[in-house]
């Protein structure tokens, strides 16, 4: 994790002079998410594009789930490799790529990522940052979900540290996480042992999905917008 975390954190150095340290997360986190999704979708990309010529809307959602097992997809002609082949059109092509995701991928809108792409393009940093992210393999076979969650935790910690915030406020010790999860399930623990049991948990203070999702009893959807963005990418998509 230290090598991967340091590499991604190092990309933030390219933002100096364009952003203040406390703004780095608004660029690095959505780019990390985009690269994660890009890697997850790579094996099924051509199959999904073929399906998109035959189906649309809900029918396409069903077919993609049936054929690939994924709950999300992208119908754009772009991926990170093709994006870098056209430096002059990178900004517009990135927007085409982002808008090519299925409707349940709204994380980039929540991050207001279009605004960040415009700023990076204006300051001649867009190609540099994109090419750096293209160098890192974030496929789940290389970076499992647990490590992806650790990466987000590390990045959020570093962003807080760089902006002189209390970095510890963004980290929850593992023993505290286990206690929190046990308390959440305490009243329904027996029922949850029954196969097929479903319970909905409201957790208003969670920062990222990763804490509660460490427990196999959970399938967690957070309420906070940027939390939704980070937890989606850590898991590679909602089940």
Q: Do the Cβ atoms of 52 and 133 come closer than 8 Å?
A: no
pLDDT tens digits for the chain (239 residues)?
Answer: 578 999 999 999 999 999 998 899 999 999 999 999 999 999 999 999 999 999 999 999 999 999 999 999 999 999 999 999 999 999 999 999 999 999 999 999 999 999 999 999 999 999 999 999 999 999 999 999 889 888 988 888 888 787 765 545 556 666 777 787 777 777 777 777 777 777 666 665 554 444 555 454 444 444 444 444 445 544 444 33
State the pLDDT at residue 65.
93
State the pLDDT at residue 130.
98
DSSP for 10-78, written as a single string: HHGGGGBTTB-GGGTHHHHHHHHHHHHHHHHHGGGHHHHHHHHTT--HHHHHHHHHHHH--S--B-SS-
Give the span between the Cα atoms of 181 and 56, in whole angstroms.
40
Give the span between the Cα atoms of 204 and 57, in whole angstroms.
32
State the pLDDT at residue 31.
97
State the pLDDT at residue 118.
98
* Domain boundaries defined on the chain: 2-159, 171-235
DSSP for 177-226, written as a single string: HHHHHHHHHGGGTTGGGSTT-------TT-SSTHHHHTSTT-----SSHH
Q: What is the pTM of this model?
A: 0.76
State the pLDDT at residue 204.
56
| Structure token pair of residue 149 | 């969650």
């Amino acid at each position: 994790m230290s090598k991967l975390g340091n590499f991604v954190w190092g990309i933030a150095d390219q933002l100096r002079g364009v952003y203040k340290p406390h703004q780095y997360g608004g660029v690095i986190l959505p780019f990390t998410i985009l690269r994660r999704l890009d890697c997850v979708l790579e094996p099924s990309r051509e199959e999904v594009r073929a399906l998109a010529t035959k189906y649309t809307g809900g029918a396409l959602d069903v077919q993609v789930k049936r054929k690939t097992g994924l709950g999300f997809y992208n119908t754009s002609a772009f991926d990170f490799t093709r994006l870098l082949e056209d430096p002059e059109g990178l900004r517009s092509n990135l927007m085409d790529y982002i808008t090519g995701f299925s409707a349940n991928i709204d994380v980039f809108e929540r991050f207001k990522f279009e605004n960040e792409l415009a700023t990076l393009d204006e300051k001649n940093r867009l190609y540099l940052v994109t090419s750096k992210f293209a160098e890192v393999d974030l496929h789940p076979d290389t970076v499992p979900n647990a490590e992806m969650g650790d990466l987000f935790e590390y990045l959020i910690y570093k962003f807080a540290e760089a902006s002189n915030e209390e970095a510890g406020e963004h980290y929850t010790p593992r023993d505290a996480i286990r206690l929190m999860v046990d308390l959440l399930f305490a009243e329904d623990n027996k029922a949850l042992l029954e196969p097929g049991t479903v319970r909905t948990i409201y957790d208003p203070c969670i920062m990222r999905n990763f804490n509660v999702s460490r427990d196999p009893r959970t399938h967690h959807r957070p309420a906070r917008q940027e939390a939704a963005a980070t937890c989606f990418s850590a898991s590679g998509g909602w089940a």
